[in-house]
Structure 1
Protein backbone atom coordinates (compact mmCIF):
# COMPACT_ATOMS: atom_id res chain seq x y z
CA UNK A 1 0.00 0.00 0.00
CA UNK A 2 1.28 3.49 -0.87
CA UNK A 3 0.07 6.95 0.11
CA UNK A 4 0.89 10.58 -0.76
CA UNK A 5 -0.08 13.45 1.55
CA UNK A 6 0.69 17.02 0.54
CA UNK A 7 -0.20 20.04 2.62
CA UNK A 8 -2.71 18.47 5.02
CA UNK A 9 -1.57 17.82 8.59
CA UNK A 10 -4.80 16.01 9.46
CA UNK A 11 -4.26 13.46 6.73
CA UNK A 12 -0.68 13.14 7.96
CA UNK A 13 -2.03 12.14 11.35
CA UNK A 14 -4.39 9.70 9.64
CA UNK A 15 -1.48 8.12 7.78
CA UNK A 16 0.27 7.54 11.10
CA UNK A 17 -2.54 5.18 12.05
CA UNK A 18 -2.16 2.93 9.02
CA UNK A 19 -0.33 -0.29 9.70
CA UNK A 20 0.05 -1.71 6.18
CA UNK A 21 1.80 1.21 4.49
CA UNK A 22 4.88 0.30 2.43
CA UNK A 23 5.48 3.59 0.60
CA UNK A 24 4.63 7.03 2.01
CA UNK A 25 5.18 10.62 0.86
CA UNK A 26 4.56 13.52 3.25
CA UNK A 27 5.09 17.08 2.04
CA UNK A 28 4.23 20.49 3.50
CA UNK A 29 2.51 22.94 1.17
CA UNK A 30 4.09 26.16 2.45
CA UNK A 31 7.17 25.04 4.37
CA UNK A 32 5.91 26.39 7.70
CA UNK A 33 4.49 23.17 9.13
CA UNK A 34 6.01 20.97 11.83
CA UNK A 35 5.77 17.26 11.18
CA UNK A 36 4.81 15.08 14.13
CA UNK A 37 6.67 11.94 13.27
CA UNK A 38 6.48 8.35 14.37
CA UNK A 39 7.89 5.34 12.51
CA UNK A 40 5.67 2.85 10.71
CA UNK A 41 6.65 -0.76 11.23
CA UNK A 42 5.50 -1.79 7.75
CA UNK A 43 7.10 1.15 5.91
CA UNK A 44 9.77 0.44 3.30
CA UNK A 45 10.08 3.80 1.48
CA UNK A 46 9.55 7.28 2.91
CA UNK A 47 9.69 10.79 1.43
CA UNK A 48 9.56 13.88 3.67
CA UNK A 49 9.48 17.30 2.06
CA UNK A 50 9.41 20.99 2.91
CA UNK A 51 8.72 20.80 6.66
CA UNK A 52 9.92 23.51 9.00
CA UNK A 53 10.87 20.94 11.66
CA UNK A 54 10.25 17.37 12.77
CA UNK A 55 9.23 16.36 16.30
CA UNK A 56 8.30 12.97 17.76
CA UNK A 57 4.62 12.17 18.16
CA UNK A 58 3.19 12.76 21.61
CA UNK A 59 6.27 14.19 23.28
CA UNK A 60 8.82 16.94 23.16
CA UNK A 61 12.08 16.14 21.51
CA UNK A 62 14.26 13.93 23.67
CA UNK A 63 11.44 12.82 25.96
CA UNK A 64 10.42 9.75 24.01
CA UNK A 65 12.29 6.66 22.95
CA UNK A 66 11.14 5.60 19.49
CA UNK A 67 11.34 2.04 18.18
CA UNK A 68 13.42 1.81 14.99
CA UNK A 69 11.53 1.35 11.75
CA UNK A 70 12.58 -1.22 9.16
CA UNK A 71 12.39 1.44 6.44
CA UNK A 72 14.97 0.81 3.69
CA UNK A 73 14.82 4.06 1.68
CA UNK A 74 14.51 7.62 2.91
CA UNK A 75 14.42 10.82 0.85
CA UNK A 76 14.33 14.17 2.62
CA UNK A 77 13.91 17.45 0.75
CA UNK A 78 14.01 20.99 2.15
CA UNK A 79 14.02 19.83 5.76
CA UNK A 80 16.98 18.94 7.91
CA UNK A 81 16.54 16.96 11.13
CA UNK A 82 19.72 18.36 12.67
CA UNK A 83 22.28 16.75 14.94
CA UNK A 84 20.15 17.88 17.89
CA UNK A 85 17.35 15.64 16.52
CA UNK A 86 19.25 12.40 16.92
CA UNK A 87 16.07 10.67 18.04
CA UNK A 88 14.90 10.91 14.40
CA UNK A 89 17.96 9.21 12.96
CA UNK A 90 17.85 6.46 15.55
CA UNK A 91 14.55 5.42 13.91
CA UNK A 92 16.41 4.45 10.74
CA UNK A 93 19.10 2.07 11.89
CA UNK A 94 18.09 -0.39 9.13
CA UNK A 95 18.18 2.25 6.38
CA UNK A 96 19.79 1.15 3.10
CA UNK A 97 19.41 4.25 0.87
CA UNK A 98 19.39 7.93 1.85
CA UNK A 99 18.71 10.84 -0.49
CA UNK A 100 19.37 14.34 0.89
CA UNK A 101 17.99 17.05 -1.38
CA UNK A 102 17.67 20.84 -1.14
CA UNK A 103 18.98 21.12 2.44
CA UNK A 104 20.14 24.72 2.76
CA UNK A 105 21.24 24.04 6.34
CA UNK A 106 23.55 21.16 5.44
CA UNK A 107 27.09 22.54 5.65
CA UNK A 108 29.32 19.69 6.82
CA UNK A 109 29.19 15.92 6.47
CA UNK A 110 26.91 14.94 9.41
CA UNK A 111 29.20 12.40 11.08
CA UNK A 112 27.21 12.13 14.29
CA UNK A 113 24.05 11.36 12.32
CA UNK A 114 25.80 8.73 10.22
CA UNK A 115 27.14 7.01 13.33
CA UNK A 116 23.64 5.50 13.74
CA UNK A 117 23.22 4.39 10.11
CA UNK A 118 25.49 1.36 9.88
CA UNK A 119 23.35 -0.37 7.22
CA UNK A 120 23.54 2.46 4.67
CA UNK A 121 24.79 1.39 1.24
CA UNK A 122 23.74 4.38 -0.90
CA UNK A 123 23.89 8.12 -0.17
CA UNK A 124 22.84 10.85 -2.60
CA UNK A 125 23.47 14.50 -1.72
CA UNK A 126 21.70 16.65 -4.31
CA UNK A 127 21.25 20.43 -4.68
CA UNK A 128 22.52 21.38 -1.23
CA UNK A 129 23.91 24.87 -1.98
CA UNK A 130 25.81 25.39 1.30
CA UNK A 131 27.34 21.94 1.61
CA UNK A 132 31.13 22.24 2.00
CA UNK A 133 31.92 18.56 2.58
CA UNK A 134 34.12 17.32 5.40
CA UNK A 135 35.51 19.59 8.06
CA UNK A 136 39.30 19.92 7.99
CA UNK A 137 39.35 18.26 11.40
CA UNK A 138 36.78 15.56 12.09
CA UNK A 139 34.49 16.42 14.98
CA UNK A 140 34.21 12.80 16.04
CA UNK A 141 37.86 11.80 15.79
CA UNK A 142 39.81 9.89 13.17
CA UNK A 143 39.19 6.45 14.63
CA UNK A 144 35.40 6.90 14.48
CA UNK A 145 35.49 8.48 11.04
CA UNK A 146 37.26 5.44 9.66
CA UNK A 147 34.42 3.14 10.72
CA UNK A 148 31.50 5.39 9.76
CA UNK A 149 29.11 3.85 7.23
CA UNK A 150 30.88 0.46 7.13
CA UNK A 151 28.60 -0.86 4.34
CA UNK A 152 28.56 2.22 2.11
CA UNK A 153 28.89 1.27 -1.57
CA UNK A 154 27.78 4.35 -3.49
CA UNK A 155 28.13 8.09 -2.91
CA UNK A 156 26.66 10.67 -5.29
CA UNK A 157 27.20 14.40 -4.74
CA UNK A 158 25.35 16.40 -7.38
CA UNK A 159 24.93 20.15 -7.88
CA UNK A 160 26.50 21.29 -4.61
CA UNK A 161 28.25 24.44 -5.84
CA UNK A 162 30.19 25.15 -2.61
CA UNK A 163 31.65 21.67 -2.13
CA UNK A 164 35.39 21.97 -1.50
CA UNK A 165 36.31 18.76 0.33
CA UNK A 166 35.04 15.26 -0.51
CA UNK A 167 33.76 13.53 2.64
CA UNK A 168 36.03 10.74 3.81
CA UNK A 169 34.42 7.48 2.75
CA UNK A 170 34.27 3.97 4.09
CA UNK A 171 36.78 1.52 2.66
CA UNK A 172 33.79 -0.44 1.32
CA UNK A 173 32.74 2.21 -1.22
CA UNK A 174 32.55 0.99 -4.81
CA UNK A 175 31.19 4.03 -6.65
CA UNK A 176 32.04 7.71 -6.25
CA UNK A 177 30.08 10.09 -8.48
CA UNK A 178 30.72 13.86 -8.26
CA UNK A 179 28.70 16.13 -10.55
CA UNK A 180 28.27 19.89 -11.02
CA UNK A 181 30.34 20.99 -8.02
CA UNK A 182 31.90 24.16 -9.38
CA UNK A 183 34.28 24.94 -6.47
CA UNK A 184 35.82 21.49 -6.12
CA UNK A 185 39.49 21.65 -7.08
CA UNK A 186 40.84 18.20 -6.23
CA UNK A 187 40.31 14.69 -4.93
CA UNK A 188 42.29 13.98 -1.73
CA UNK A 189 45.23 11.59 -1.41
CA UNK A 190 43.26 9.27 0.86
CA UNK A 191 41.28 8.23 -2.24
CA UNK A 192 43.98 5.63 -2.84
CA UNK A 193 42.87 3.85 0.34
CA UNK A 194 39.46 3.13 -1.21
CA UNK A 195 40.63 -0.28 -2.40
CA UNK A 196 37.09 -1.49 -3.26
CA UNK A 197 36.39 1.47 -5.61
CA UNK A 198 35.22 0.30 -9.04
CA UNK A 199 33.67 3.42 -10.61
CA UNK A 200 34.87 7.00 -10.40
CA UNK A 201 33.11 9.85 -12.20
CA UNK A 202 33.90 13.58 -12.10
CA UNK A 203 31.38 15.47 -14.22
CA UNK A 204 31.03 19.20 -14.94
CA UNK A 205 33.29 20.43 -12.14
CA UNK A 206 34.74 23.51 -13.80
CA UNK A 207 37.40 24.28 -11.16
CA UNK A 208 38.62 20.70 -10.82
CA UNK A 209 42.33 20.45 -11.62
CA UNK A 210 43.99 17.66 -9.60
CA UNK A 211 43.69 13.90 -9.29
CA UNK A 212 45.72 12.39 -6.43
CA UNK A 213 49.02 10.59 -6.91
CA UNK A 214 47.44 7.68 -5.04
CA UNK A 215 45.14 6.95 -8.03
CA UNK A 216 47.46 4.12 -9.00
CA UNK A 217 46.51 2.23 -5.84
CA UNK A 218 42.94 1.68 -7.07
CA UNK A 219 43.61 -1.82 -8.33
CA UNK A 220 39.88 -2.66 -8.66
CA UNK A 221 38.88 0.49 -10.56
CA UNK A 222 36.94 -0.53 -13.68
CA UNK A 223 35.51 2.78 -14.93
CA UNK A 224 37.06 6.24 -14.94
CA UNK A 225 34.97 9.07 -16.38
CA UNK A 226 36.23 12.66 -16.32
CA UNK A 227 33.90 14.98 -18.20
CA UNK A 228 33.58 18.76 -18.37
CA UNK A 229 36.66 19.68 -16.32
CA UNK A 230 38.24 22.46 -18.41
CA UNK A 231 40.97 23.25 -15.85
CA UNK A 232 42.33 19.71 -15.54
CA UNK A 233 45.68 19.87 -17.33
CA UNK A 234 47.27 16.48 -16.52
CA UNK A 235 46.69 13.06 -15.01
CA UNK A 236 49.07 11.74 -12.33
CA UNK A 237 51.91 9.32 -12.87
CA UNK A 238 51.72 5.88 -11.31
CA UNK A 239 48.43 4.83 -12.93
CA UNK A 240 49.91 1.53 -14.14
CA UNK A 241 48.33 0.11 -10.99
CA UNK A 242 44.85 0.37 -12.58
CA UNK A 243 44.96 -3.26 -13.67
CA UNK A 244 41.15 -3.70 -13.72
CA UNK A 245 40.38 -0.59 -15.81
CA UNK A 246 37.97 -1.38 -18.65
CA UNK A 247 36.26 1.95 -19.40
CA UNK A 248 37.99 5.30 -19.85
CA UNK A 249 36.15 8.48 -20.83
CA UNK A 250 37.86 11.86 -21.18
CA UNK A 251 35.55 14.58 -22.48
CA UNK A 252 35.64 18.37 -22.50
CA UNK A 253 39.07 18.53 -20.86
CA UNK A 254 40.88 20.64 -23.45
CA UNK A 255 44.03 21.31 -21.36
CA UNK A 256 45.08 17.66 -21.17
CA UNK A 257 47.87 17.24 -23.69
CA UNK A 258 48.86 13.62 -23.06
CA UNK A 259 48.20 10.55 -20.96
CA UNK A 260 50.80 9.46 -18.40
CA UNK A 261 52.91 6.43 -19.23
CA UNK A 262 51.30 4.31 -16.53
CA UNK A 263 47.80 4.87 -17.92
CA UNK A 264 48.96 4.25 -21.48
CA UNK A 265 50.05 0.78 -20.38
CA UNK A 266 46.42 0.00 -19.53
CA UNK A 267 44.78 1.47 -22.66
CA UNK A 268 45.23 -1.66 -24.75
CA UNK A 269 43.29 -3.65 -22.12
CA UNK A 270 40.20 -1.40 -22.24
CA UNK A 271 36.79 -2.47 -23.51
CA UNK A 272 35.59 1.12 -24.03
CA UNK A 273 37.45 4.34 -24.79
CA UNK A 274 35.82 7.73 -25.30
CA UNK A 275 37.89 10.82 -26.08
CA UNK A 276 35.98 13.95 -27.12
CA UNK A 277 36.58 17.70 -26.99
CA UNK A 278 40.13 17.05 -25.80
CA UNK A 279 41.92 18.23 -28.96
CA UNK A 280 45.45 17.13 -28.00
CA UNK A 281 44.34 13.64 -26.97
CA UNK A 282 42.14 13.30 -30.04
CA UNK A 283 45.13 14.03 -32.26
CA UNK A 284 47.20 11.34 -30.52
CA UNK A 285 44.49 8.68 -30.90
CA UNK A 286 43.56 9.44 -34.50
CA UNK A 287 45.14 7.88 -37.57
CA UNK A 288 48.93 8.37 -37.56
CA UNK A 289 48.80 9.61 -33.94
CA UNK A 290 51.30 8.26 -31.42
CA UNK A 291 48.61 6.41 -29.41
CA UNK A 292 46.77 4.96 -32.40
CA UNK A 293 48.38 1.53 -32.16
CA UNK A 294 47.03 1.10 -28.62
CA UNK A 295 43.34 1.04 -29.59
CA UNK A 296 43.20 -1.55 -32.35
CA UNK A 297 41.85 -4.24 -30.00
CA UNK A 298 39.39 -2.04 -28.06
CA UNK A 299 35.82 -3.15 -28.68
CA UNK A 300 34.16 0.29 -28.43
CA UNK A 301 35.96 3.52 -29.23
CA UNK A 302 34.88 7.11 -29.76
CA UNK A 303 37.64 9.56 -30.65
CA UNK A 304 36.25 12.88 -31.75
CA UNK A 305 33.94 12.04 -34.64
CA UNK A 306 35.40 8.55 -35.08
CA UNK A 307 33.19 5.95 -33.41
CA UNK A 308 32.79 2.17 -33.52
CA UNK A 309 29.31 2.28 -31.92
CA UNK A 310 26.80 4.38 -30.05
CA UNK A 311 29.34 4.70 -27.25
CA UNK A 312 27.40 7.30 -25.28
CA UNK A 313 24.55 4.84 -24.75
CA UNK A 314 26.91 1.98 -23.98
CA UNK A 315 28.89 3.94 -21.39
CA UNK A 316 25.80 5.26 -19.64
CA UNK A 317 24.37 1.75 -19.39
CA UNK A 318 27.66 0.37 -18.14
CA UNK A 319 28.10 2.97 -15.44
CA UNK A 320 25.72 2.24 -12.49
CA UNK A 321 24.55 5.66 -11.37
CA UNK A 322 23.78 6.34 -7.73
CA UNK A 323 20.76 8.29 -8.92
CA UNK A 324 19.03 5.01 -9.68
CA UNK A 325 19.10 4.17 -5.98
CA UNK A 326 17.24 7.31 -4.93
CA UNK A 327 13.65 6.16 -4.89
CA UNK A 328 10.70 8.43 -5.35
CA UNK A 329 7.89 7.65 -2.95
CA UNK A 330 5.80 10.05 -4.99
CA UNK A 331 5.81 7.85 -8.10
Structure 2
Protein backbone atom coordinates (compact mmCIF):
# COMPACT_ATOMS: atom_id res chain seq x y z
CA UNK A 1 0.00 0.00 0.00
CA UNK A 2 1.26 3.43 -0.83
CA UNK A 3 2.04 5.76 2.04
CA UNK A 4 0.70 8.83 0.29
CA UNK A 5 -3.06 9.21 -0.14
CA UNK A 6 -4.54 12.14 -2.06
CA UNK A 7 -7.97 13.07 -0.79
CA UNK A 8 -9.09 15.03 -3.79
CA UNK A 9 -10.26 12.78 -6.61
CA UNK A 10 -13.69 14.34 -6.85
CA UNK A 11 -15.38 12.27 -9.53
CA UNK A 12 -14.33 8.90 -8.16
CA UNK A 13 -13.54 9.21 -4.48
CA UNK A 14 -16.46 11.42 -3.54
CA UNK A 15 -18.99 9.23 -5.31
CA UNK A 16 -17.46 6.01 -3.98
CA UNK A 17 -16.84 6.90 -0.36
CA UNK A 18 -19.65 9.26 0.44
CA UNK A 19 -23.08 10.34 -0.79
CA UNK A 20 -24.30 13.87 -0.21
CA UNK A 21 -26.94 16.27 -1.48
CA UNK A 22 -25.24 18.79 -3.76
CA UNK A 23 -26.05 22.30 -2.56
CA UNK A 24 -23.10 24.20 -4.05
CA UNK A 25 -22.39 22.48 -7.34
CA UNK A 26 -18.66 22.47 -8.19
CA UNK A 27 -18.30 24.20 -11.55
CA UNK A 28 -15.81 23.11 -14.18
CA UNK A 29 -17.41 24.00 -17.53
CA UNK A 30 -19.40 27.16 -17.02
CA UNK A 31 -18.14 30.68 -17.68
CA UNK A 32 -17.18 32.73 -14.63
CA UNK A 33 -20.18 34.97 -15.17
CA UNK A 34 -22.61 32.07 -14.73
CA UNK A 35 -22.01 31.44 -11.05
CA UNK A 36 -19.84 32.71 -8.21
CA UNK A 37 -16.64 30.87 -7.16
CA UNK A 38 -17.13 28.36 -4.34
CA UNK A 39 -14.31 27.02 -2.14
CA UNK A 40 -14.68 23.40 -1.05
CA UNK A 41 -13.11 20.11 -0.08
CA UNK A 42 -13.80 18.04 -3.23
CA UNK A 43 -14.75 14.88 -1.33
CA UNK A 44 -16.22 16.62 1.69
CA UNK A 45 -18.43 14.07 3.42
CA UNK A 46 -20.41 15.68 6.20
CA UNK A 47 -23.33 15.70 6.51
CA UNK A 48 -23.54 12.33 4.80
CA UNK A 49 -26.12 9.62 4.26
CA UNK A 50 -23.42 6.92 4.46
CA UNK A 51 -20.86 5.96 7.04
CA UNK A 52 -17.38 7.19 6.17
CA UNK A 53 -15.05 4.57 4.70
CA UNK A 54 -11.91 3.82 6.69
CA UNK A 55 -8.63 5.08 5.26
CA UNK A 56 -6.25 2.21 5.99
CA UNK A 57 -2.53 2.85 6.32
CA UNK A 58 0.28 0.34 6.37
CA UNK A 59 1.83 0.13 9.82
CA UNK A 60 5.29 1.69 9.70
CA UNK A 61 7.91 3.31 11.91
CA UNK A 62 7.93 6.46 9.76
CA UNK A 63 4.87 8.72 9.32
CA UNK A 64 2.58 8.40 6.31
CA UNK A 65 1.09 11.37 4.48
CA UNK A 66 -2.58 11.99 3.78
CA UNK A 67 -3.21 14.97 1.51
CA UNK A 68 -6.39 16.94 2.21
CA UNK A 69 -7.26 18.86 -0.96
CA UNK A 70 -9.12 22.16 -1.11
CA UNK A 71 -10.39 23.58 -4.39
CA UNK A 72 -11.93 26.69 -5.84
CA UNK A 73 -14.79 25.52 -8.03
CA UNK A 74 -14.60 27.72 -11.09
CA UNK A 75 -14.18 27.43 -14.84
CA UNK A 76 -10.56 28.58 -14.65
CA UNK A 77 -8.02 29.81 -12.06
CA UNK A 78 -9.09 33.04 -10.36
CA UNK A 79 -5.99 34.90 -11.44
CA UNK A 80 -5.15 35.79 -7.85
CA UNK A 81 -3.80 33.77 -4.91
CA UNK A 82 -6.40 32.48 -2.49
CA UNK A 83 -5.58 31.47 1.09
CA UNK A 84 -7.79 28.76 2.56
CA UNK A 85 -7.84 27.95 6.29
CA UNK A 86 -9.14 24.80 7.93
CA UNK A 87 -9.67 23.86 11.59
CA UNK A 88 -10.02 20.60 13.48
CA UNK A 89 -13.70 20.04 14.23
CA UNK A 90 -14.28 17.45 16.96
CA UNK A 91 -18.03 18.12 17.02
CA UNK A 92 -18.38 16.44 13.62
CA UNK A 93 -17.14 13.17 15.11
CA UNK A 94 -19.73 13.35 17.89
CA UNK A 95 -22.48 14.06 15.36
CA UNK A 96 -21.36 11.20 13.14
CA UNK A 97 -21.44 8.77 16.09
CA UNK A 98 -24.95 9.93 16.99
CA UNK A 99 -26.20 9.59 13.42
CA UNK A 100 -24.75 6.16 12.67
CA UNK A 101 -24.32 4.55 16.10
CA UNK A 102 -20.55 4.37 15.69
CA UNK A 103 -17.96 4.80 18.42
CA UNK A 104 -15.22 6.85 16.78
CA UNK A 105 -12.83 8.75 19.01
CA UNK A 106 -10.62 11.60 17.97
CA UNK A 107 -7.19 10.36 16.94
CA UNK A 108 -4.61 11.12 19.63
CA UNK A 109 -2.64 14.30 19.04
CA UNK A 110 0.57 12.27 19.29
CA UNK A 111 -0.43 10.26 16.20
CA UNK A 112 -0.90 13.09 13.71
CA UNK A 113 0.44 16.50 12.78
CA UNK A 114 -0.32 19.32 10.36
CA UNK A 115 2.44 21.82 9.63
CA UNK A 116 -0.03 24.61 8.86
CA UNK A 117 -3.80 25.12 8.97
CA UNK A 118 -3.63 27.53 6.01
CA UNK A 119 -2.63 26.90 2.42
CA UNK A 120 -2.52 29.14 -0.65
CA UNK A 121 -4.10 28.21 -3.96
CA UNK A 122 -1.82 29.87 -6.50
CA UNK A 123 -3.25 32.40 -8.93
CA UNK A 124 -2.83 29.98 -11.85
CA UNK A 125 -4.19 26.93 -9.99
CA UNK A 126 -7.56 25.63 -8.83
CA UNK A 127 -6.48 23.59 -5.82
CA UNK A 128 -3.88 23.04 -3.11
CA UNK A 129 -3.27 20.41 -0.43
CA UNK A 130 -2.66 20.14 3.29
CA UNK A 131 -0.13 17.34 4.00
CA UNK A 132 -1.49 15.60 7.08
CA UNK A 133 1.09 13.33 8.73
CA UNK A 134 -0.10 10.10 10.38
CA UNK A 135 2.28 8.32 12.78
CA UNK A 136 0.84 4.82 12.43
CA UNK A 137 3.09 3.42 15.17
CA UNK A 138 1.35 5.75 17.65
CA UNK A 139 -2.23 4.99 16.63
CA UNK A 140 -4.15 3.28 19.46
CA UNK A 141 -5.38 0.14 17.70
CA UNK A 142 -7.85 -0.63 20.48
CA UNK A 143 -9.97 2.37 19.41
CA UNK A 144 -11.88 3.45 16.33
CA UNK A 145 -9.98 6.58 15.36
CA UNK A 146 -11.12 9.60 13.37
CA UNK A 147 -10.12 13.17 12.52
CA UNK A 148 -12.47 15.86 11.23
CA UNK A 149 -11.73 19.24 9.63
CA UNK A 150 -13.76 22.22 8.41
CA UNK A 151 -12.93 25.10 6.07
CA UNK A 152 -13.22 28.23 8.21
CA UNK A 153 -11.90 30.95 5.88
CA UNK A 154 -11.43 31.40 2.13
CA UNK A 155 -10.11 34.96 1.76
CA UNK A 156 -13.61 36.36 1.36
CA UNK A 157 -14.80 33.84 -1.25
CA UNK A 158 -17.91 31.74 -0.66
CA UNK A 159 -17.36 28.52 1.29
CA UNK A 160 -19.42 25.51 0.21
CA UNK A 161 -22.24 24.79 2.64
CA UNK A 162 -21.98 21.00 2.45
CA UNK A 163 -18.51 20.36 1.05
CA UNK A 164 -16.66 22.32 3.70
CA UNK A 165 -16.28 19.40 6.12
CA UNK A 166 -14.33 16.15 5.91
CA UNK A 167 -14.31 13.10 8.20
CA UNK A 168 -11.21 10.91 8.13
CA UNK A 169 -11.58 7.51 9.83
CA UNK A 170 -8.01 6.29 10.35
CA UNK A 171 -7.14 2.59 10.25
CA UNK A 172 -3.80 0.78 10.37
CA UNK A 173 -2.87 -2.57 8.87
CA UNK A 174 0.47 -4.33 8.85
CA UNK A 175 1.68 -6.86 6.27
CA UNK A 176 0.24 -9.81 8.21
CA UNK A 177 -3.26 -8.34 8.53
CA UNK A 178 -5.93 -10.18 6.55
CA UNK A 179 -8.16 -13.21 6.20
CA UNK A 180 -6.22 -16.47 6.14
CA UNK A 181 -7.05 -20.15 5.70
CA UNK A 182 -5.93 -22.12 8.77
CA UNK A 183 -4.80 -25.73 8.95
CA UNK A 184 -3.69 -26.95 12.36
CA UNK A 185 -1.93 -29.89 14.00
CA UNK A 186 -1.91 -30.37 17.80
CA UNK A 187 0.18 -32.68 19.93
CA UNK A 188 0.02 -33.46 23.64
CA UNK A 189 -3.50 -33.36 24.98
CA UNK A 190 -5.06 -36.62 23.81
CA UNK A 191 -6.06 -37.38 27.40
CA UNK A 192 -8.29 -34.32 27.44
CA UNK A 193 -10.31 -35.00 24.29
CA UNK A 194 -8.11 -32.78 22.12
CA UNK A 195 -6.82 -33.82 18.69
CA UNK A 196 -3.39 -35.40 19.06
CA UNK A 197 -0.91 -35.66 16.19
CA UNK A 198 -3.78 -35.06 13.76
CA UNK A 199 -4.11 -32.30 11.19
CA UNK A 200 -7.47 -30.62 10.60
CA UNK A 201 -8.69 -27.73 8.48
CA UNK A 202 -10.27 -24.80 10.34
CA UNK A 203 -11.06 -22.44 7.45
CA UNK A 204 -11.14 -18.65 7.58
CA UNK A 205 -9.03 -17.13 10.34
CA UNK A 206 -8.35 -13.42 10.76
CA UNK A 207 -5.08 -11.81 11.74
CA UNK A 208 -5.63 -8.31 13.13
CA UNK A 209 -2.97 -5.61 13.34
CA UNK A 210 -1.85 -5.05 16.93
CA UNK A 211 1.39 -3.18 16.16
CA UNK A 212 3.90 -2.62 13.38
CA UNK A 213 4.96 -6.30 13.49
CA UNK A 214 2.34 -8.02 15.66
CA UNK A 215 -1.15 -9.44 15.22
CA UNK A 216 -3.97 -10.78 17.32
CA UNK A 217 -6.54 -13.26 16.00
CA UNK A 218 -10.24 -13.78 15.38
CA UNK A 219 -11.25 -17.38 14.71
CA UNK A 220 -14.75 -16.66 13.41
CA UNK A 221 -16.30 -16.92 16.87
CA UNK A 222 -13.98 -15.02 19.19
CA UNK A 223 -10.34 -14.07 19.77
CA UNK A 224 -9.72 -17.30 21.72
CA UNK A 225 -7.15 -19.87 20.63
CA UNK A 226 -8.62 -22.16 17.97
CA UNK A 227 -8.29 -25.92 18.42
CA UNK A 228 -9.81 -29.27 17.42
CA UNK A 229 -11.35 -32.09 19.41
CA UNK A 230 -10.15 -35.65 18.88
CA UNK A 231 -12.92 -36.13 16.31
CA UNK A 232 -11.99 -32.98 14.39
CA UNK A 233 -14.69 -30.78 15.86
CA UNK A 234 -14.05 -27.07 16.33
CA UNK A 235 -13.25 -25.89 19.85
CA UNK A 236 -11.52 -23.00 21.64
CA UNK A 237 -9.25 -22.73 24.65
CA UNK A 238 -10.72 -20.39 27.24
CA UNK A 239 -8.66 -17.56 28.74
CA UNK A 240 -6.19 -17.90 25.87
CA UNK A 241 -5.95 -15.20 23.19
CA UNK A 242 -2.78 -15.41 21.08
CA UNK A 243 -0.64 -12.51 19.94
CA UNK A 244 2.11 -13.22 17.41
CA UNK A 245 5.08 -10.92 16.86
CA UNK A 246 7.51 -11.04 13.94
CA UNK A 247 10.76 -9.23 13.24
CA UNK A 248 11.69 -7.14 10.20
CA UNK A 249 12.75 -10.31 8.33
CA UNK A 250 9.28 -11.87 8.90
CA UNK A 251 10.59 -14.41 11.43
CA UNK A 252 8.32 -15.19 14.40
CA UNK A 253 10.04 -13.85 17.52
CA UNK A 254 7.35 -13.97 20.22
CA UNK A 255 4.03 -15.56 21.15
CA UNK A 256 2.01 -14.41 24.13
CA UNK A 257 -1.40 -14.79 25.73
CA UNK A 258 -3.30 -11.49 25.87
CA UNK A 259 -5.78 -12.71 28.51
CA UNK A 260 -4.80 -12.53 32.20
CA UNK A 261 -4.36 -15.79 34.11
CA UNK A 262 -7.68 -17.19 35.34
CA UNK A 263 -5.98 -19.59 37.71
CA UNK A 264 -5.02 -22.28 35.23
CA UNK A 265 -1.72 -20.67 34.39
CA UNK A 266 -2.24 -20.74 30.65
CA UNK A 267 0.64 -19.13 28.82
CA UNK A 268 1.80 -19.21 25.20
CA UNK A 269 5.46 -19.47 24.22
CA UNK A 270 7.44 -20.21 21.09
CA UNK A 271 8.48 -23.78 20.42
CA UNK A 272 12.28 -23.77 20.86
CA UNK A 273 12.62 -26.96 18.84
CA UNK A 274 11.28 -25.26 15.70
CA UNK A 275 13.40 -22.38 14.44
CA UNK A 276 11.69 -21.56 11.14
CA UNK A 277 8.31 -20.17 12.23
CA UNK A 278 7.83 -17.34 9.77
CA UNK A 279 5.81 -15.40 7.24
CA UNK A 280 6.70 -16.24 3.64
CA UNK A 281 5.56 -13.18 1.63
CA UNK A 282 6.30 -14.79 -1.75
CA UNK A 283 4.10 -17.81 -1.04
CA UNK A 284 1.70 -15.76 1.13
CA UNK A 285 1.89 -18.35 3.87
CA UNK A 286 2.58 -18.21 7.60
CA UNK A 287 4.05 -21.11 9.56
CA UNK A 288 3.68 -21.00 13.36
CA UNK A 289 4.99 -23.44 15.94
CA UNK A 290 4.25 -22.64 19.58
CA UNK A 291 3.28 -24.16 22.91
CA UNK A 292 0.40 -23.65 25.32
CA UNK A 293 1.37 -24.38 28.92
CA UNK A 294 -1.08 -25.03 31.75
CA UNK A 295 -0.66 -25.90 35.44
CA UNK A 296 -0.82 -29.65 36.04
CA UNK A 297 -0.89 -30.65 32.36
CA UNK A 298 1.68 -31.58 29.74
CA UNK A 299 2.56 -29.04 27.09
CA UNK A 300 0.07 -28.63 24.24
CA UNK A 301 2.05 -28.18 21.01
CA UNK A 302 0.53 -26.19 18.13
CA UNK A 303 1.57 -26.25 14.48
CA UNK A 304 -0.37 -23.75 12.37
CA UNK A 305 -0.21 -23.18 8.63
CA UNK A 306 -2.02 -20.16 7.25
CA UNK A 307 -2.59 -19.38 3.57
CA UNK A 308 -3.60 -15.85 2.61
CA UNK A 309 -7.12 -15.40 1.25
CA UNK A 310 -7.95 -11.69 1.14
CA UNK A 311 -7.76 -8.35 2.95
CA UNK A 312 -9.74 -8.19 6.15
Give the alignment's TM-score, normalised by structure 1: 0.28
Between structures 1 and 2, the one with greater strand share: 2
Between structures 1 and 2, the one with greater helix share: 1
Higher relative contact order (CA 8 A, sep 6+): 2
